[in-house]
Structure 1
Amino acid sequence: MNARDRALGAFTGLAVGDALGMPTQSMSRAAIAAAYGPVTGLLTAVAEQPVAPSMPAGSVTDDTEQAVLLARLLIDGRGTVEPQVFADALLIWEADMIRRGSADLLGPSTKRALTRLQDGVPAEEAGRTGTTNGAAMRVTPVGIATPSEDLHALVDAVAATARVTHNTSLGIASAAAVAATVSAGVEGASLAEALDAGERAAVVGGERGHWAAGGEIAARITWARGWVRGMAPAAVADAVARVIGTSVASQESVVAAFALAEAMGDDPPAALRLAAGLGGDTDTVAAICGAMLGAAHGVGAFRPDVVETVLSVNRLEFGPLVDELLALRRRTGQSQRTY
Structure 2
Amino acid sequence: MADAAGTMDRAMGALIGGALGDALGMPTQLLSPARIAELYGHVEDFVAPVADHPVSKGLPAGAITDDTEQALLLGRILVSSGDRFDHARWVNALLDWERDVKARGSYDLLGPSTKRAIDAINEGVPAEEAGRSGDTNGAAMRIAPVGIMMPPEPLEALVAKVAETCRATHNTSIAIASAAAVAAAVSSGLACGDWRAASERAVAAPVLGATLGNWVTGGDIAARIALAQQLVRGKSEKEATRLIVDLIGTGVASQESVPAAFAVLEVAQGDAWRAAVISANLGGDTDTIGAIAAGMAGACAGLSRLPQDRVARLKGIDLAEVRALANDLVSARVARSSGKEAAA
TM-score (norm 1): 0.96
Q: Secondary structure at the match of 2:313?
A: helix
1:336 to partner: Cα distance: 3.1
CA distance in 1 between counterparts of 2:293 and 2:273 reads 10
The answer to whether the 8 Å contact 2:272/2:295 transfers is no
Q: Secondary structure at the match of 2:44?
A: coil
1:109 to partner: Cα distance: 1.0
CA distance in 2 between counterparts of 1:180 and 1:124 reads 24
- The reply to whether residue 145 of structure 1 matches residue 149 of structure 2 is yes
User: Which residue of 305, 308, 311 corresponds with 2:312?
Assistant: 308
Q: Secondary structure at the match of 1:165?
A: coil
- The reply to whether residue 40 of structure 1 matches residue 26 of structure 2 is no
Structure 1: stretches of 5+ with no match in the other structure: none
CA 1:115–1:211 in structure 2 vs 1: closer, same or farther (change >3 Å)?
A: same
The correspondence of residues 262-277 of structure 1 with structure 2, limited to 5 A, is 262-277=266-281
The answer to whether the 8 Å contact 2:151/2:187 transfers is yes
Q: Give the structure 2 partner of residue 3 of structure 1.
A: 7
Amino acid at match of 1:248: V
CA 1:307–1:79 in structure 2 vs 1: closer, same or farther (change >3 Å)?
A: farther
- Tell me the alpha carbon deviations over residues 204-229 of structure 1, each in whole angstroms, 9 at most, x when there is no partner: 11111111101010010011111110
- The aligned length equals 338
Structure 2: stretches of 5+ with no match in the other structure: none
Q: Give the structure 2 partner of residue 239 of structure 1.
A: 243
The answer to whether the 8 Å contact 1:126/1:164 transfers is yes
Q: Give the structure 2 partner of residue 168 of structure 1.
A: 172
Q: Give the structure 2 partner of residue 212 of structure 1.
A: 216
- The reply to whether residue 281 of structure 1 matches residue 285 of structure 2 is yes
Q: Secondary structure at the match of 1:70?
A: helix
1:39 to partner: Cα distance: 0.4
User: Which residue of 204, 212, 230 corresponds with 1:200?
Assistant: 204
TM-score (norm 2): 0.94
Q: Which moved more, 1:122-131 or 1:25-34?
A: 122-131
- The reply to whether residue 177 of structure 1 matches residue 181 of structure 2 is yes
- The reply to whether residue 31 of structure 1 matches residue 32 of structure 2 is no
1:75 to partner: Cα distance: 1.3
The answer to whether the 8 Å contact 1:94/1:105 transfers is no
1:79 to partner: Cα distance: 4.6
CA distance in 1 between counterparts of 2:86 and 2:295 reads 25
The answer to whether the 8 Å contact 1:15/1:64 transfers is yes
Q: Which moved more, 1:327-336 or 1:171-180?
A: 327-336
- Tell me the alpha carbon deviations over residues 294-324 of structure 1, each in whole angstroms, 9 at most, x when there is no partner: 01111133211001111x5533432111100
Q: Secondary structure at the match of 1:23?
A: coil
Moved over 4 A (4+): none
Amino acid at match of 1:207: T
Amino acid at match of 1:277: N
- The reply to whether residue 75 of structure 1 matches residue 79 of structure 2 is yes
User: Which residue of 209, 221, 225 corresponds with 1:221?
Assistant: 225
User: Which residue of 59, 64, 68 corresponds with 1:60?
Assistant: 64
The answer to whether the 8 Å contact 1:136/1:176 transfers is yes
Q: Give the structure 1 partner of residue 25 of structure 2.
A: 21
Q: Give the structure 1 partner of residue 137 of structure 2.
A: 133
1:334 to partner: Cα distance: 2.5
- Tell me the alpha carbon deviations over residues 72-99 of structure 1, each in whole angstroms, 9 at most, x when there is no partner: 1111112543222211111111110111
Percent identical pairs in the alignment equals 48
Q: Give the structure 1 partner of residue 102 of structure 2.
A: 98
**Root-mean-square deviation (Å):** 1.5
- The reply to whether residue 290 of structure 1 matches residue 266 of structure 2 is no
Amino acid at match of 2:313: T
The answer to whether the 8 Å contact 1:23/1:45 transfers is yes
